[in-house]
Structure 1
């Protein structure tokens, strides 16, 4: 039978392989041709299920243009090709890499991230010039021992795989500067990694680590260590020897104490939020003189030490969601602090309107609370004031009276306010009075002398069992801070009242009908009291914009409703009013 069809056209001798050839992945010849010149080939996002053989053999096989361009003066000098140094195969559907990878020994960068690789070829160890290897976002469960042969490797990205262990041989990659093992299933880290003395960034976040090897301290060049979202219960003391460390992330672990880092004097960021830390002492802060960011949110802190003032460079302090009842006044003297986050703390000595004014106003408030103690012999006597008397040496800070319109006599343990304090006011229109932290058993009678000007009175942390109607004579009073066992009746009779902060007392009931008469009341803080029920009629107090009820033993409204905010709580209460 003739091999030629009628018409003289010969059949394709490769016709039997046509279907198979059409299924083979192809790469435009233009890209291959350009890669021979530049030494770089980017095949990312092409839906490849395997790498074409022509890619592996790009510097081995004679290019097709050699058969068409035989002029030695041609513009395309196919024989003057550059070895491939950069190959990007990211975001494809590759399940494996061929052992022919060894045909690209000049590779400096290999990027195969975002594929479906479950293993690496042993030939990976022959890429001796490789400096950057990105295998992240694959399905690797193990690493070949040959990986340790990459003595020039500087960046190794293995995050978002399924690794359960890291071979100790990886400690032989002594040129490594960056190692990312985050988002795997690691339960331990080999002590051999301590040999990576040139490593500057190590990311171990989102694994299942319970401990860190003490040998990690041998990484003397390490500047960034990220152990976020693990199961760490403690930190090896040797970590304190990493004197180049600048950023330390320990968030979302099970730490119960802050690590002591006496030699980490270059540390700029310390993130230890979402742990179970209950104490921060002077020993934890004294040496961190370069710290700019301290993140302690979502812990169990009840106090901060005055030694926090050593953190002169601190710019951001996050204390959100702790158990802080007060703040050290020394905090106000941090010169570079720009952001102080305190939401979710049961602060008792600071009004919410002060907290809402921002960091700088709060720091000023903390500074103003610091006063030089007055001796017992001076409490009820007027000192001799001369031209050389400093404001801090006098019984009353007259400068604060004249310039800040503030009358302060707090934290003196006084049973009564000396007459000299009120006499110092003279004709100055004082707007703020702070008599907190004393031993007062009644509201000072002479406070009515300030009725025309004062609008802020702080009598907190005293022993006043009740208050008299003389407070009703303070015509401009809008803020009153006190501590009670029962809701004071007199508060119902001050129509100008804007804010009532009466949290952390033993109040058992409130009268919503009386509160409804306070038409200017916008903030009512009843947290941490003994309220067994919240009267539905409270929902009719339309002026209230901020209602805080957390920490009381009532069953309704439920916590889920409280979490939705004031508007939801008020709507809930109104819905329960009998019709």
Structure 2
């Protein structure tokens, strides 16, 4: 760890500051931060832009932690103990090398924002209780390896932002239409050909809403309306002619567009770090 990192940690210990900012301090091991896990008063811990390869179970000692930012590290897994942080509201583990989330991950009682953008996670590697995170307001899971989303996503009753761009999605569950509070939906850069008609029931047309659909191999009916704007797509989803097209598409078991495997293999999250 750099001298600047040690100085920042020492100052936090001396001042009793509940917000500990240790981003971009060349930290490779948490063990390089002596006394960190005894700082129970800390409510915000920022360790982004470092070179951490692991997170010890002792992270659970920070019982008052509300915000944990681990963006842009070399983490390949998270400890099961992380879900013991009962006050955690915001967790950012984006831009790492995670293939899975730990068992019991869905037991955070007040987690509102979860960001695991740009990792290697898929529907097969989510823990069984993931969809019990009913307090979630924003879920960022773009640039991963999802091909489908579970219908259990309907359990996220408080979700306002859902970002699943740049995955391998070939289908969206109709249950997304049950997310009454959803105001942002980002599905660009997938393998989607159709949208469930239920998405047309969501409030995604107001000035404070956002719907991103570009860079998908849509059926002509959607592609044509998208040229006119997303509001035209939403209106089309509500009409009977589209519902017929949607049902026919499902029944014919249309062939899915191929994956862009070459692009996936070039991802930084696939490359093992070279540590000094």
Instruction: Tell me the TM-score range normalised by the shorter chain.
Output: 0.7 to 0.9
Matched, 1:362 2:240: no
Cα contact 1:252–1:273 (8 A) shared by 2: yes
Cα contact 2:237–2:243 (8 A) shared by 1: no
Residue aligning to 1:343: 214
Cα contact 1:313–1:336 (8 A) shared by 2: no
Q: 1:232-291 CA distances to partner (integer Å, 9 max, x unpaired)?
A: 0000132201121111000010112274533322211100001111111112x0210100
**Partners in 2 of 1:250 and 1:209 — Cα distance?**
11
**Measured at CA, do residues 367 and 178 of structure 1 come closer, stay the same or move farther in structure 2, by a change above 3 Å?**
same
Matched, 1:175 2:41: yes
**Partners in 1 of 2:154 and 2:83 — Cα distance?**
21
Q: Aligned-pair distance for 1:169?
A: 4.0
The 3-state SS of whatever aligns with 2:185 is strand
Report which of the two structures shows the higher radius of gyration computed on alpha carbons: 1
Matched, 1:252 2:252: no
Matched, 1:231 2:102: no
Q: Aligned-pair distance for 1:173?
A: 0.7
Give unmatched runs, 5+ long, in structure 2.
Answer: 258-276
Residue aligning to 1:276: 145
Q: Aligned-pair distance for 1:196?
A: 1.0
Residue aligning to 2:59: 193
The 3-state SS of whatever aligns with 1:248 is strand
**Partners in 1 of 2:202 and 2:167 — Cα distance?**
22
Q: Superposed, which structure 2 residues align to 1:491-510 within 5 Å?
A: none
Cα contact 1:160–1:184 (8 A) shared by 2: yes
Residue aligning to 2:172: 304
**Measured at CA, do residues 281 and 365 of structure 1 come closer, stay the same or move farther in structure 2, by a change above 3 Å?**
same
Matched, 1:214 2:85: no
Q: Aligned-pair distance for 1:409?
A: 9.9
Q: Aligned-pair distance for 1:309?
A: 1.5
**Partners in 1 of 2:63 and 2:100 — Cα distance?**
23
Residue aligning to 1:156: 20
The 3-state SS of whatever aligns with 1:286 is helix
Q: Aligned-pair distance for 1:119?
A: 6.3
Residue aligning to 2:186: 318
The 3-state SS of whatever aligns with 1:265 is coil
**Measured at CA, do residues 409 and 304 of structure 1 come closer, stay the same or move farther in structure 2, by a change above 3 Å?**
closer
Q: 1:531-558 CA distances to partner (integer Å, 9 max, x unpaired)?
A: xxxxxxxxxxxxxxxxxxxxxxxxxxxx
**Partners in 2 of 1:437 and 1:272 — Cα distance?**
26
113, 124, 129: which one aligns with 2:10: 124
331, 347, 350: which one aligns with 2:199: 331
Matched, 1:288 2:152: no
Residue aligning to 1:399: none
**Measured at CA, do residues 409 and 273 of structure 1 come closer, stay the same or move farther in structure 2, by a change above 3 Å?**
closer
Q: Superposed, which structure 2 residues align to 1:12-27 within 5 Å?
A: none
Cα contact 2:172–2:195 (8 A) shared by 1: yes
**Measured at CA, do residues 118 and 316 of structure 1 come closer, stay the same or move farther in structure 2, by a change above 3 Å?**
closer
